[in-house]
Amino acid sequence: MNFVRLGLLKRSLNMECRNLHLLKKLAYINGEWVNANSNSVFPVINPADDKVIAEIPDMDATDAKIAVDAATNAFKTWKDTSAKERSSILRKWFDVCQKNSDHLADIITAEAGKPLGESKGEVAYGNSFLEWFADTARHINGEVIPSPWPNKQIIVTRQPLGVVSIITPWNFPFAMITRKVGALMAAGCTCVIKPAEDTPLTALAAVQLAEEAGVPKGVINVITSSRKNAPAVGKVLCEDPNVGCISFTGSTHVGKILYGMAAKGIKRVALELGGNAPFIVFSSADISHAVEQAMLAKFRNNGQACVGANRFLIHEEMFDKFVDCFKYKISQKCILGPGHKEGVTCGPLINMEQIKKVSGLVNDAVKKGAKVMIGGQVAKDIGEKFYESTVLVDVKPDMEIYGEEIFGPVAVCLKFKTENEALEIANSTRSGLAAYVFTSDLGQAFRMSRQLEFGMVAINDGVLSAAEPPFGGIKESGIGREGSKHGAEEYTDLKYTLFSALDK
């Protein structure tokens, strides 16, 4: 890097740092803030204006190995801490994150582009997992099973499985870390976090607060890398013999690659992968309520959410009314702009790859006969990464967007006539993460819950995520659950112990 560009980057960094209290520019291994072994760096870009926020270490396989070794050594002592002690530390981490919520939100908005209000919502959501797992740590219980033999006793205990590799996405850079790390720490595990290259600063801020809360060195490690080094780092995190589990949230494509790598060592995996959520509105539904909830289900994080509604299946009797109401709400509520600007509700897409994907899907659909009811293009007067909130109708199965996860602010509205037809369309995907159903017929609600092939079903609600219920999908949307008591149990091994000769 030449000295002129370095000077420009430093000046840009100084300007951005003024309001980013928790901004860290180094990775975190074994309780130390460190550079990459090679001293290489890469820039983190604000997607709203393409300005450099910071330059951070571009780590490689060597650094990843050092981090895994640090987590391995820390596990030797952390696994033997009492559940009460782990609970106390998690509670302190929650408390310090609560106190720094605004600072965390500033960083999320800077690197992920979210409106500031939405970033604050993510921090509150992420903090809820630390609070939940602080309580759950003391309730990871075993079993006493009646023995089939006299004078023998069967005991089943849950023990921490070891080092966990955490690979997180860019769309919820804080909550995806607390949901995973809170759970594994409660279970007695240690970890190495590899945050998305687009949003690593939130992870570093979170671990800074973990350090302040008293998390022992080596329990949490964060390695940062660019896309160039990500494959080599991922290989270490999946194949190192000291790693016991790979926990990944991201695309189904990448999840399959990591699953294959983990298979070489018969390692545990916890995968939360892509979705293709149907949003089904029956003729008995309250249309006004359904539209309000559709706004939440579709445009949260500008459509960049795995549980975001993808396909809107509307009963033919309600179709025109729903679309008209939806268009009106979008025109009133979806305000594009930089995340720190007051009044903005929809920020930029994360990078140009996402813009190209969303634009390509819409353009293909229009070319093949779909009709744009609102939006349908890049808002170039605001910036290159701002895509207008969009509604498409007359979408047919031969269009790419019909079966593709959009991951952007585009709602595909389809008509259906019968309950069976709605089910057939909804289930015609290899994804199975979340589904939304709107009906006032209680029997229909129970039938849909049972017959929809998705891990999570929301009835008459557009937001279903919380710390208390198990979050996860079926089919190609993942393996395992996060949140709830099951989220902590994912990071334990069951051990059966037989006590014999008790009469001796």
- Residue 191 annotated as catalytic: no
196: tokens are: 């998305």
Q: How many whole angstroms separate alpha carbon 23 and alpha carbon 31?
A: 17
Give the span between the Cα atoms of 107 and 89, in whole angstroms.
Answer: 24
Residue spans of alpha helices (H) in 276-379: 287-299, 319-333, 352-367
Q: Token pair for residue 464?
A: 């279903």
Q: What whole-number distance in Å separates Cα of residue 247 and Cα of residue 165? A: 6
306 is catalytic: yes
The SS3 call for residue 76 is helix
Q: How far is CA 71 from CA 31, 189, 468, 483, in A?
A: 10, 9, 28, 23
* 400 burial via Cβ count (<10 Å: 0-12, 13-18, 19+): middle
Q: Which of 97, 191, 238, 306 is catalytic?
A: 306
Partnered with residue 346 across adjacent β-strands are 336
Contact present, 158 and 141 (Cβ < 8 Å): yes
Tokens of 216: 């022992």
For the chain, the farthest-separated pair of C-alpha atoms sits apart, in whole angstroms, at: 84
Q: Which of 55, 131, 272, 405 is catalytic?
A: 272
∠ CA(491), CA(247), CA(29), 5° rounding?
A: 90
What separation in angstroms does the CA of 115 have from each of 294, 304, 329, 345, 462? Answer: 19, 13, 18, 6, 19
Which residues, including other chains, have CB under 8 Å from residue 488's CB and lie 6 or more apart?
Answer: 133, 136, 137, 140, 183, 184, 186, 187
Residue 456, helix vs strand vs coil: strand
Cα–Cα dist 219/271, whole Å: 21
Q: Using the CB atoms, write b or e for 317-335: b if 16+ within 10 Å.
A: ebbeebbebbbebbeeebe
* Residue 497 CA: distances (Å) to CA of 79, 141, 148, 503: 19, 15, 14, 17
Backbone angles phi, psi at 32, to 5 degrees: -125, 145
Active-site amino acid positions: 272, 306
